[in-house]
Copies of this chain bind each other. A is one copy, B any other.
Amino acid sequence: MREVAIVAAGMTKFGELWGSSLRDLFVEAASEALTMARADHVDAIVVGNMSAGQFVGQEHLGPLLADHLGMAGTPAMRVESACASGGAALRVGFLEVASGACDLVLAAGVEKMNDGGDVTAVLATAADQENEVYHGITFPGLYAMIARAHMTAHGTTAEDLAAVAVKNHRHGALNPKAQFRREVTLEEVMASSMVAEPLRLLHCSPVSDGAAAVLLCPLDQAKRYTDRPVKIRASAAATAPMALADRKNLAFLDAVQLSAQRAYKLAGVGPADLHVVEVHDCFTIAEICCIEALGLVEPGKGRDAARSGLTALGGKVPVNTSGGLKSKGHPVGATGIAQVIEIFEQLRGAAGDRQVKNARIGLAQNMGGSGASSVIHILERV
Binding site for B on A (CB under 8 A): 1, 21, 23, 44, 50-51, 53-54, 56-64, 66-67, 72-82, 88, 91-92, 95-96, 98-101, 122, 125-130, 133, 235-242, 246, 254-255, 258-259, 368-369, 372-373
- Please judge, given known A-B contacts A80-B80, A373-B77, whether A128 and B64 are in contact too, CB under 8 Å: yes
A242 near B63 with CB under 8 A, answer yes
Copies of this chain present in the complex amount to 2
Q: Is the interface of A mostly helix, strand, loop or mixed?
A: mixed
Using known A-B contacts A53-B53, A58-B125, determine if residue A73 contacts B133 with beta carbons closer than 8 Å. no
Q: Report B-chain residues with C-beta under 8 Å of the C-beta of A72.
A: 239-241, 246
Cross-chain contact B63 with A81 (CB below 8 angstroms):
yes
Partner of A372, one of B64, B82, B254: B64
Bound form: Cα–Cα A378–B179 in Å: 47
B369 near A125 with CB under 8 A, answer: no
B80 touches A77 (CB 8 A): yes
Question: In the complex, A255→B255 CA distance in Å?
Answer: 38
Contact of A240 among B23, B50, B54, B63 (CB under 8 A): B63
Inter-subunit contact A237/B59 (CB<8 Å):
no
Asked if residues B60 and A80 are in contact (CB atoms below 8 Å), the reply is: yes
A67 touches B373 (CB 8 A): no
On chain B, the residues within 8 Å of A98 by CB distance are: 99-101
